[in-house]
Chains A and B, each alone.
Chain A
């Protein structure tokens, strides 16, 4: 398997031209590092991170260091490690990214960092910030000390966009949230600041970086609900309607992230990651009910959801935070405004190809939901 993987079947890109013609090049020709170079993956036991490690191994990279929390579930990564031939080195580095000394050790001789570890699902701004921004700064400082890094790939999110552009199309050129602190979403705040610090270090110290912004990453065990609607008091409020959900199957997302770290000539670029053939929120909900479980839902038209978000925002201000600003117009634009998503740049510059079709991805997802692994 490793020998086969030495032949890079992966398209690449140079000088802004489509990359398909490079698909037969060997690793050393199309990628920025050779297969024995040291590659660090943070968040490597996570939902996406573990798949990124798999992609790298499939491509023949055989000197990986996986940064893991002491509390991480190691079953998946241990199984992966055991399945590799003896020449493949997967080092599990147990540590805390908040500790500079741990970062320093982990970054030694590292050529590429895939930085997926971040504070997720936290309601507290300081916690989300600390686990996303302070940790990223520690990695950047450690990399500077070793001066061997050729690229850091930051895995960000669609949440950083305002999505207030006139066009319904969302691509990499759309503006980022300038005042993420006003969105009332700790994750958004942390992600915007995390991107800022990577860009600042890139500008000030010349650290090459690539930012990857996945849409809604789904797969067995993932959560999908937000863009579709909100479950409340036993009733599901369907807010998405005919909006497309910016799905990317976890395998497709991992493929995009791995390419973003390897392909030459993309330093300083940003890539949105979404699949083709995106279902609308209504289609997804219908399929979910058909394949997983039935429940009551009520469609809330976009105009109404916009007004409700506006009212919630105003009440939150008027009551001085008696209700937190969980729903507001900024969130409405990001989650529920009618939007078209583009993956043109991903295909053109990285040669990304969707490995798991949306139809197959959703089939697998619903199947896993039926087995109690995922939920919407």
Chain B
């Protein structure tokens, strides 16, 4: 029986505990939060053995095999380091750490201690995302990707919601190097990082505050970001937007032969054929083939629902289960360390550029500032 502990008893901890409950062969031996009331509420609502307010007490008394770190990002490094020092395997919620060098040190420490590490990029393990990975693994693209596009929407809603979210000038999100962006973009960046081959691709970032944020006099937070990522044979665009509609989470990947579109919101995977039909047939047949694919996705989603395998956080369950499996069987972790590190490096590069200059309302592009019209 794998002994699991949760550190940080906020909103995302609920999702972790709910998914862990669905996995055979593990038990939650402790939950920990510096705020005793928060630790107690999680302990009361789920089958958990003990609750703690001190991390050392949790590690020494409950002696977990795996610790899920669901605290705010600022503390990820310190908490993960302590857990690894105690010989635990750790699952760190996204973003993995604040800086790439912290990520590197944690992964090195895990290597020294013989522990395993993963990060909460569960979007990459939804049913549709796994189907996409299988197709790519089977050579559907016809080689390395030529180009990728990752869209990550974040609906701030109306000004009153944005004001409520961003109104607190002491909110921990503001203390992150990349502020709001740092807390949310890693899902979209990691999708690109998975298919890059170099260790340090070129990154060009452009960020600005939307008119919505300006209307509520928000001066610190950027909520619009465009990124170009380049390496020898592959390029990628990353778009983060609070204003674009639909507010979508989509990944497109194009190879030498074919392409794929993954719609995370609707769990749809569409194949884009590289070959064309002749003459007018190319206007008539592809729409029918697309309709067939969409119908197939709907049927698959319904099948999964009827089979009780279509939970909202099914990607998280799969990732946790795979991580636990890698611990028990000493097999490769579900997210390669290289990918964790590359995601952190790309994010570092983005925030370095955004923070290098940037009075409010300016576009930031590769360290240079351009006044918007």
- Interface residue from B41, B44, B170 paired with A96 (Cβ < 8 Å): B170
CB neighbours (8 Å) of B44 from chain A are 181
Q: Is the CB of B308 within 8 A of A134?
A: no
> What's the nearest-Cβ distance from chain B to residue A46, in Å?
12
Q: Is the CB of A70 within 8 A of B308?
A: no
Q: Is the CB of B11 within 8 A of A321?
A: no
Q: Is the CB of A193 within 8 A of B41?
A: yes
In the complex where A319-B308, A320-B22, A320-B308 touch, is A134 in contact with B167 (Cβ < 8 A)? no
Q: Is the CB of B22 within 8 A of A126?
A: no
Q: Is the CB of B166 within 8 A of A129?
A: no
B155 at the binding interface (Cβ < 8 Å): no
> CA of A189 to CA of B40 in the docked complex: distance in angstroms?
13
B282-326 CB contact bits vs A (8 Å, 1 = yes)?
000000000000000000000001001011000000000000000
> What's the nearest-Cβ distance from chain B to residue A255, in Å?
27
B278 at the binding interface (Cβ < 8 Å): no
- Interface residue from A70, A73, A181 paired with B45 (Cβ < 8 Å): A181
CB neighbours (8 Å) of B164 from chain A are 69, 71
> CA of A69 to CA of B163 in the docked complex: distance in angstroms?
10
CB neighbours (8 Å) of A129 from chain B are 37-38, 41
In the complex where A126-B42, A127-B11 touch, is A321 in contact with B169 (Cβ < 8 A)? no
Q: Is the CB of A126 within 8 A of B37?
A: no
B43-81 CB contact bits vs A (8 Å, 1 = yes)?
011000000000000000000000000000000000000
> CA of A319 to CA of B22 in the docked complex: distance in angstroms?
10
> CA of A318 to CA of B22 in the docked complex: distance in angstroms?
12
B265 at the binding interface (Cβ < 8 Å): no
CB neighbours (8 Å) of B168 from chain A are 69-71, 96
Q: Is the CB of B169 within 8 A of A322?
A: no
Q: Is the CB of B166 within 8 A of A71?
A: yes
- Interface residue from B21, B37, B42, B310 paired with A137 (Cβ < 8 Å): B37
> What's the nearest-Cβ distance from chain A to residue B28, in Å?
15
> CA of A134 to CA of B9 in the docked complex: distance in angstroms?
13
Q: Is the CB of A318 within 8 A of B308?
A: yes
CB neighbours (8 Å) of A69 from chain B are 164, 167-168
A292-324 CB contact bits vs B (8 Å, 1 = yes)?
000000000000000000000000001111100
> What's the nearest-Cβ distance from chain B to residue A19, in Å?
37
Which of A72, A124, A129, A189 neighbours the largest number of chain B CB atoms within 10 Å of its CB? A129
A201 at the binding interface (Cβ < 8 Å): no
In the complex where A71-B166, A71-B167, A322-B308 touch, is A130 in contact with B10 (Cβ < 8 A)? yes
Q: Is the CB of A134 within 8 A of B37?
A: yes
- Chain A residue with Cβ nearest B165: A71
> What's the nearest-Cβ distance from chain B to residue A53, in Å?
20
**Total A residues in contact with B, Cβ cutoff 8 Å:** 25
B35 at the binding interface (Cβ < 8 Å): yes
CB neighbours (8 Å) of B35 from chain A are 130, 134
Q: Is the CB of A126 within 8 A of B10?
A: yes
B24-46 CB contact bits vs A (8 Å, 1 = yes)?
00000000000101100110110
B18 at the binding interface (Cβ < 8 Å): yes
- Chain B residue with Cβ nearest A122: B11
- Chain B residue with Cβ nearest A193: B41
A133 at the binding interface (Cβ < 8 Å): yes
CB neighbours (8 Å) of A71 from chain B are 163-168
- Interface residue from B10, B14, B170, B311 paired with A320 (Cβ < 8 Å): B311
Q: Is the CB of A125 within 8 A of B308?
A: no
> CA of A173 to CA of B310 in the docked complex: distance in angstroms?
43
> What's the nearest-Cβ distance from chain B to residue A246, in Å?
28
> CA of A197 to CA of B41 in the docked complex: distance in angstroms?
13
B356 at the binding interface (Cβ < 8 Å): no
CB neighbours (8 Å) of A137 from chain B are 37
Which of B11, B22, B166 neighbours the largest number of chain A CB atoms within 10 Å of its CB? B11
- Chain A residue with Cβ nearest B305: A322
In the complex where A181-B44, A320-B311 touch, is A125 in contact with B14 (Cβ < 8 A)? yes
CB neighbours (8 Å) of B305 from chain A are 322
> CA of A360 to CA of B320 in the docked complex: distance in angstroms?
57
B window 140-187: CB within 8 A of A:
160, 163-170
- Interface residue from B11, B21, B167, B310 paired with A124 (Cβ < 8 Å): B11
- Chain A residue with Cβ nearest B33: A126
CB neighbours (8 Å) of A126 from chain B are 9-11, 13-14, 38, 41-42
Which of A71, A318, A321 neighbours the largest number of chain B CB atoms within 10 Å of its CB? A71
> CA of A73 to CA of B162 in the docked complex: distance in angstroms?
12
CB neighbours (8 Å) of A133 from chain B are 37, 41
> CA of A189 to CA of B18 in the docked complex: distance in angstroms?
17
CB neighbours (8 Å) of B14 from chain A are 124-126
> CA of A264 to CA of B165 in the docked complex: distance in angstroms?
40
Q: Is the CB of A73 within 8 A of B160?
A: yes
CB neighbours (8 Å) of B167 from chain A are 69-72
Chain A residues packing against B (C-beta within 8 Å): 69-73, 96, 99, 124-127, 129-130, 133-134, 137, 181, 189, 193, 197, 318-322
Chain B residues packing against A (C-beta within 8 Å): 9-11, 13-14, 18, 21-22, 35, 37-38, 41-42, 44-45, 160, 163-170, 305, 308, 310-311
A-B contact pairs, 10 of them (CB 8 A): A70-B168, A71-B165, A125-B41, A126-B9, A126-B11, A126-B13, A126-B38, A129-B41, A133-B41, A197-B37
Which 4 pairs of residues, A with B, have the shortest CB-CB distance? A71-B167, A71-B163, A181-B45, A319-B308
